[in-house]
Structure 1
Amino acid sequence: MTTKLFDTVLVANRGEIAVRVIRTLRTMGIFSVAIYSDADADARHVREADTAIRVGGSPATESYLNIENIIAACQASGAQAVHPGYGFLSENVAFARALKDAGITFIGPGIDALLLMGDKIRSKNHVSAHDVPVTPGIAEPELSDDELIDAAADIGFPVLIKPSAGGGGKGMVAVNSPEALPEALASARRTAQSSFGDDTLFLERLVRSPRHIEVQILADTHGSTVYLGERECSLQRRHQKVIEEAPSPLLEKNPDGARIRAEIGAAAVAAAASVNYVGAGTVEFLISDEAPGEFFFMEMNTRLQVEHPVTEEVVRVDGERLDLVEAQVRIAAGLPLGFTQEQVSLHGHAIEARVYAEDPSRDFMPSTGRLLRVAEPGGEHVRVDSSLATGLVISPHYDPMLAKVIAWGPERDTALERLDAALSRTEILGVHTNIEYLRLLLADPDVLAGNLDTTLIERKMPSMAFGSFGNTELVLAAALQLARQPVHGGTWQVPDSWRLGTPAVLTTTLEVNDKTITLSSIPSGTGRTFSLDGEEFEVAHLPGGAVSVNGMLRHLDTAFGNDSTLWMGHNGWVGSIGFLDREALLHRELATRDHPAGEASPEVRSPMPGTVIAVGISDGQRVETNQILVTIEAMKMEHHLRSPAAGTVDIGRLRVGDLVKANQILATLSYNTEEEEA
């Protein structure tokens, strides 16, 4: 039975981590206070908290990063402590100081530890002095681009650019040649400045085919520090973790795994103790796959990690589960850990998959929109940390992570099977997601064998075959659309092509993957006969939502958006089909009337809502094919918009800092055909 430690705790975060912290606070009998921006007024964490306070506008800088407003929310609610979650202000020294000045407990480490470990340059130099091995490189404050370029020649390529502040892989760039370094440094500085408010960079030698292993630690105010096993986080894309597990299969398969685990755990404890660390933290290491006994300190995350659930699922203290959020709260209240390293054991295997709003088939472009349907998996040994709900709007203002699906098993194979099955039962319609991609990863032979490294996804991506709409799926979409059309004006308004005598042919125009496709159909028995590209399909609706296509049953999850878009999902695959009416078709015809056939469109449009962070050209400038014109930031990611052809560019009044909408024209090209012919 837990003791009531604080009367009221404010959760200074949003999304699934806010929901997860609120759940533990409720279990502990602590009154929870949520904060929210305008975009999150109807969010799940707002509904689940005991009370909620608005802290500003939709952009994070106006709300979740607004220290003054959050302190005011603490004072208005009577919160005695703040749990920062991860991201946002969780590692922000100014926030921790402001809380201390206001007499409010920060559920996290002390200011000195935040200062030192929050700066990757200082932390690397510091732990090196305490006999913790570090990766070769240059880590000095305030290095200019020219100084970094000069240092890279001595370090040797490939090198890894890393921001000194922040985490989560943002701003990290691998560079394989001197020629690519200047542009990479500029991009990394922009990302670091916009994400962390600090554009300081440093360089490390890029360790080829490394394993990313991290150690969870807990430390109290009474001098006790323990490590809670390790997590393997080697499956990454663009330095962002995708799938995490505990314990590491590298150590599990190694005959000396227990010894290596003890050594890396001791190094993590030493790193934490060197700064008098208090609370939950994670020390991250790179380990060579060929030499598991060699490991190098990367950084210490002074907060709860996204992947903390896999540790909770496998760690036992005297046979009992450990809630890391509860441990954080108890430590912040000044209570001792209550257990020693000898009481910690590992039980079974757990794997977590991060579900993102993104489209893997379009280079993982973030996806925004309103969730039309949400169904999350359940069952024994399956856990979902989520903030999703039908009707929730996924906005461009925040990170695209939607949820985490975690599965446990007595051994790794069972955990993998359970996680894949859980993902197949996860239904999210209204935005594109990476669930199919996650399932493809879990089925990869190297992943199944535990042969992981941080470059695996990069190597495997070109051969991944993502689902796409084929003829049958198009027919299904059209059939479902016709069957579920709302009826206005009675029977005469039903779009079924009925008439006296022979039924008329009904034509339906669809937009699929930026292409326009026309279907024709006539009534046929209990359904319709569809014609497409010379093929005919007999489609009928059956009880229970199933559809028969040429006698074969098909089961799809479907939902309609308000923009005449049908969203479809099946076993993790998600796609959308637009239904074009006469007005939309006329608009498209007029837009392309003066556009020569086969020539690239002269319009460069924003693929999604975002903020312009760089304009690489000037109005009237001559540009070449594939030249970067504009860079926008959305969902904490940079997106380069390139010229589709050579020509003269018109950007109008577009400026850095402008907010742009999805499909907004950002630049227009004039093709210099006469000059090219000359």
Structure 2
Amino acid sequence: MGTIDAGRRPFERVLVANRGEIAVRVIRTLRRLGIRSIAVFSDADADAPHVRLADEAVRIGPAPATQSYLDPAQLIAAALETGAQAVHPGYGFLSEHAGFAAACREAGIVFIGPGDEALAVMGDKIRAKRHVAASGVPVVPGVSDPELDDAALLAAGEQVGFPLLVKPSAGGGGKGMQIARDAVELAEAIPAARRVARTSFGDDTLLLERLIERPRHIEVQVLADADGTVIHLGERECSLQRRHQKVVEEAPSPLLDAATRERIGQAACDAARSVAYLGAGTVEFLVSDVAPDEFFFIEMNTRLQVEHPVTELVTGIDLVEQQLRIAAGQPLAIAQHDVHLTGHAIEARVYAESPDRGFLPSTGELLEWRPATGDGVRVDAGIRTGQHVTADYDPMLAKVIAYGADRAEALERLDAALAETVVLGVDTNLAFVRRLLADPDVRAGALDTNLIERMPPATAERPRPEQLAAAASALLAEAAGDRRTRTGTRDRDVEGPSAWTDAAGWRLGARRPPTVLLAPRDAPADVVAVTTAEPSRDASDEPNAAATVRIAANGEIWVHDARGTTAFVHVDRRAHAEARRALAERGGVALSPELRAPMPGTVTAVFVADGDAVEAGAPILAIEAMKMEHRITASADGTVRLAASVGDLVSRDQPVARIEPASETRDAAPEASAPGSAPPATQGDHEQEPTHAV
């Protein structure tokens, strides 16, 4: 990526008040410009890539964000301690926090972001909508009166007409949004949205907007300097969203023609100019798929956006550099006529989540991280092999961006890059995003914000023979290495191979290939007997050249190849046989009375008391991690026995409650299986009984 400005260095020392991929992204531009970079880190990030990359690093507190990255006092102290002239807030955390911006200025530090008016006006959706409407920017019809109570809001909403979108005025990320298609749904949505808004943002003010069917989410990148010059760098299409969170973004939009692009760009500039905007910002619009020449202002993000790389690739302009120069008081060296959109760029966000488990967050050690490379491929990431992905922060791991001469080439390059990306140790959405990119509507550019919701639910793919063979080979190689390690001293004087220490499946008169019992980690009852070649004495780290295999400390075997990633567990033959006998004794009923945590996190609510009678489907407790709350419900009618309380930290699959069936006594209830062990297989299993198993 090139640079437009060739002026003096804007600052000597800049503190980056963020973490992960955006911190790495900002530090790279600082290094290119010869500016000394200062990273901050919590205890969870002490050895993170952004800390290693920076010239200096300062600890700002323990892992919880509220005690580190969200603590203005700690960040200001770090900036003063290191002599930073400016603070770059990245995005998220305190990037749009007016109080933090003011604290920076009071401490004599430049906040690399807009001024007070922009932060105050654009940080309140109701105020922002009224403000830009007064400047001639088109807005979605709706109600935005903070004085209205629930009853008045209901009446006003009926006047606007249905369907309606109920939105908290404060906050973002789609949190608290509700859709109401009639008065009954609106009466339920208003108090529900208020509760979420009050809890999440400390402000329960709501606004109602007409819901635009088949909407496209189009946003425009703007730059504005202290002299009042405002330009736009074209638009980004951000319509591929799940639960109001963007998944795939591209530039330019396949929807807009040149005339509409110019009109929406000028509207974005007008919105920014109305609040004396300073720096890089994004003005977001809704555009109807059936009327692409009409657009409506949604909100303005007063910071750098996650998806900014696609704009950088089609314009050749480094947005972080522009932020730095504007914050230093330098005028824009770019005029509107200098901006040209060339080619096409598409970005996919890689999340640590399990699509086939309802997109629940995933945590663990990154056993292998290998980003894609190649023509037109850019990867923004802040992770490394060996790093632990925790539940303390957002689950986004990286962004994979592809650039091509046209949209078709960019799509092909992105799909190939995602296939090449290796993430082992935590679940990711890589396979889901590839399936999304293959959707005929996505290929045709027929996008809307509900497209993902209409897709069939994500399901786990059945393990393929190639992956099973790779996992079995790796397991046998590790076992062979362990045997040699255990007997190394005793046999150090023995020359050549020894059948007693090296051979698996060896017997007098014959050598039979060893068999391994494996099962998908998330379907441990689906046991498969895999017979494979015996590993050589020099078994390598990669038993299968077509696959990357890593074995976790808990025994999970992770396999990646060009078609996807799967995690397996090794099933003990004796435990498997005992489980099958126990299942037969129960008449084939495999339902477990244990309720287990579907993800690692914190218990935030318990809805019942120990010993309460509950019905199937009744909520038992809630677990929160990575900005997501999941409710665990009763699996059957019975009596609940709690194993966790509010505030407890729980791991994935940890028992948190137990339902004693109403028809059984407490003593007769079956014992829970140990975490990580294989549940009983069904009587329909017909795997070949092995003669020798590891």
Output the TM-score relative to the length of structure 2: 0.86
Partner AA of 2:477 in structure 1:
A
> Quick check: 2:113–2:323 contact (8 Å CA) kept in 1?
yes
Following TM superposition, by how much is the alpha carbon of 1:85 offset from its aligned partner in structure 2, in angstroms? 0.5
> Quick check: 1:13–1:84 contact (8 Å CA) kept in 2?
yes
C-alpha distance in 2 between matches for 1:81 and 1:195:
30
Please list the CA deviations of residues 385-410 of structure 1 after superposition, one character each: whole Å capped at 9, or x if unmatched: 11121111111111111111111111
Following TM superposition, by how much is the alpha carbon of 1:250 offset from its aligned partner in structure 2, in angstroms? 0.3
Which residue of 1 is the match for residue 675 of structure 2? none
C-alpha distance in 2 between matches for 1:8 and 1:178:
56
Which residue of 2 is the match for residue 414 of structure 1? 409
Which residue of 2 is the match for residue 402 of structure 1? 397
Q: Report the count of equivalent residues.
A: 645
Q: How does 1:225-304 map to 2 (within 5 A)?
A: 225-251=230-256, 257-304=257-304
C-alpha distance in 1 between matches for 2:586 and 2:104:
59
Following TM superposition, by how much is the alpha carbon of 1:640 offset from its aligned partner in structure 2, in angstroms? 1.9
Q: Are 2:572 and 1:575 aligned?
A: no
Say which of 512, 516, 519 aligns to 2:525: 516
Please list the CA deviations of residues 567-621 of structure 1 after superposition, one character each: whole Å capped at 9, or x if unmatched: 0112362220112458987998999999885263222221222123333334433
> Quick check: 2:126–2:145 contact (8 Å CA) kept in 1?
yes
Which residue of 1 is the match for residue 456 of structure 2? 461
C-alpha distance in 1 between matches for 2:583 and 2:18:
46
Which residue of 1 is the match for residue 509 of structure 2? 501
Which residue of 2 is the match for residue 133 of structure 1? 138
Please list the CA deviations of residues 500-542 of structure 1 after superposition, one character each: whole Å capped at 9, or x if unmatched: 2334685534342232355556776x679xxxxxxxxxxx999
Which residue of 2 is the match for residue 666 of structure 1? 656
Which residue of 1 is the match for residue 175 of structure 2? 170
> Quick check: 2:598–2:652 contact (8 Å CA) kept in 1?
yes
Which residue of 2 is the match for residue 318 of structure 1? none
C-alpha distance in 2 between matches for 1:176 and 1:190:
20
> Quick check: 1:175–1:181 contact (8 Å CA) kept in 2?
yes
Which residue of 2 is the match for residue 341 of structure 1? 336
- Give the match's secondary structure for 2:436: helix
> Quick check: 1:93–1:114 contact (8 Å CA) kept in 2?
yes
> Quick check: 1:496–1:523 contact (8 Å CA) kept in 2?
no
> Quick check: 1:281–1:300 contact (8 Å CA) kept in 2?
yes
Taking a change above 3 Å as real, the CA distance of residues 74 and 337 of structure 1, as seen in their structure-2 partners, is same
Please list the CA deviations of residues 413-450 of structure 1 after superposition, one character each: whole Å capped at 9, or x if unmatched: 11111111111111111111111111111111111111
Following TM superposition, by how much is the alpha carbon of 1:172 offset from its aligned partner in structure 2, in angstroms? 3.0
> Quick check: 2:516–2:531 contact (8 Å CA) kept in 1?
no
Following TM superposition, by how much is the alpha carbon of 1:454 offset from its aligned partner in structure 2, in angstroms? 0.6
C-alpha distance in 2 between matches for 1:326 and 1:69:
26
Partner AA of 2:225 in structure 1:
D
Farther off after superposition, 386-395 or 187-196: 187-196
Which residue of 2 is the match for residue 566 of structure 1? 557
Which residue of 1 is the match for residue 597 of structure 2? 606
Taking a change above 3 Å as real, the CA distance of residues 587 and 389 of structure 1, as seen in their structure-2 partners, is farther
Say which of 615, 623, 640 aligns to 2:614: 623
Please list the CA deviations of residues 141-194 of structure 1 after superposition, one character each: whole Å capped at 9, or x if unmatched: 376556555554444444323232233333334345666667766665565456
Q: Are 2:379 and 1:370 aligned?
A: no
Gap runs ≥5 in structure 2: 1-5, 488-497, 666-694
C-alpha distance in 2 between matches for 1:660 and 1:187:
27
Following TM superposition, by how much is the alpha carbon of 1:544 offset from its aligned partner in structure 2, in angstroms? 10
Q: How does 1:207-226 map to 2 (within 5 A)?
A: 207-226=212-231
Which residue of 1 is the match for residue 669 of structure 2? none
Following TM superposition, by how much is the alpha carbon of 1:557 offset from its aligned partner in structure 2, in angstroms? 1.8
Please report the RMSD computed on the Cα atoms of aligned residues, expressed in angstroms: 3.0
Farther off after superposition, 589-598 or 91-100: 589-598
Following TM superposition, by how much is the alpha carbon of 1:197 offset from its aligned partner in structure 2, in angstroms? 4.8
Gap runs ≥5 in structure 1: 252-256, 316-320, 529-539, 548-553
> Quick check: 1:439–1:572 contact (8 Å CA) kept in 2?
no
Q: Are 2:97 and 1:92 aligned?
A: yes
Taking a change above 3 Å as real, the CA distance of residues 601 and 546 of structure 1, as seen in their structure-2 partners, is closer
Farther off after superposition, 154-163 or 412-421: 154-163
> Quick check: 2:90–2:303 contact (8 Å CA) kept in 1?
yes
Taking a change above 3 Å as real, the CA distance of residues 652 and 444 of structure 1, as seen in their structure-2 partners, is closer
Say which of 474, 478, 483 aligns to 1:484: 478
C-alpha distance in 1 between matches for 2:122 and 2:171:
10
Following TM superposition, by how much is the alpha carbon of 1:292 offset from its aligned partner in structure 2, in angstroms? 0.8
C-alpha distance in 1 between matches for 2:582 and 2:182:
43
> Quick check: 1:425–1:572 contact (8 Å CA) kept in 2?
no
Which residue of 1 is the match for residue 20 of structure 2? 15
C-alpha distance in 2 between matches for 1:248 and 1:412:
10
- Give the match's secondary structure for 2:398: strand
Taking a change above 3 Å as real, the CA distance of residues 345 and 628 of structure 1, as seen in their structure-2 partners, is same
Taking a change above 3 Å as real, the CA distance of residues 586 and 542 of structure 1, as seen in their structure-2 partners, is closer
> Quick check: 1:215–1:227 contact (8 Å CA) kept in 2?
yes
> Quick check: 2:260–2:293 contact (8 Å CA) kept in 1?
yes
C-alpha distance in 2 between matches for 1:523 and 1:347:
52
Say which of 5, 8, 11 aligns to 2:10: 5
Higher strand share: 1
Taking a change above 3 Å as real, the CA distance of residues 194 and 83 of structure 1, as seen in their structure-2 partners, is farther
Q: Are 2:102 and 1:107 aligned?
A: no
Following TM superposition, by how much is the alpha carbon of 1:622 offset from its aligned partner in structure 2, in angstroms? 3.1
C-alpha distance in 2 between matches for 1:195 and 1:268:
29
C-alpha distance in 2 between matches for 1:171 and 1:75:
37
Taking a change above 3 Å as real, the CA distance of residues 179 and 566 of structure 1, as seen in their structure-2 partners, is farther
> Quick check: 1:482–1:495 contact (8 Å CA) kept in 2?
no
C-alpha distance in 1 between matches for 2:452 and 2:640:
36
- Give the match's secondary structure for 1:516: coil
Partner AA of 2:649 in structure 1:
L
- Give the match's secondary structure for 1:620: coil
C-alpha distance in 2 between matches for 1:439 and 1:648:
44
C-alpha distance in 1 between matches for 2:563 and 2:181:
35
> Quick check: 2:140–2:209 contact (8 Å CA) kept in 1?
yes
Which residue of 1 is the match for residue 86 of structure 2? 81
C-alpha distance in 1 between matches for 2:530 and 2:609:
51
- Give the match's secondary structure for 1:673: coil
> Quick check: 2:143–2:207 contact (8 Å CA) kept in 1?
yes
Following TM superposition, by how much is the alpha carbon of 1:471 offset from its aligned partner in structure 2, in angstroms? 5.2
> Quick check: 1:219–1:225 contact (8 Å CA) kept in 2?
yes
Partner AA of 2:89 in structure 1:
P
Partner AA of 2:356 in structure 1:
S
Which residue of 2 is the match for residue 532 of structure 1? none
Say which of 454, 458, 473 aligns to 2:467: 473
Which residue of 2 is the match for residue 649 of structure 1? 640
Taking a change above 3 Å as real, the CA distance of residues 607 and 493 of structure 1, as seen in their structure-2 partners, is farther
Which residue of 1 is the match for residue 679 of structure 2? none
Taking a change above 3 Å as real, the CA distance of residues 412 and 190 of structure 1, as seen in their structure-2 partners, is same
C-alpha distance in 2 between matches for 1:543 and 1:7:
48
> Quick check: 2:583–2:589 contact (8 Å CA) kept in 1?
no
Output the TM-score relative to the length of structure 1: 0.88
Which residue of 2 is the match for residue 531 of structure 1? none
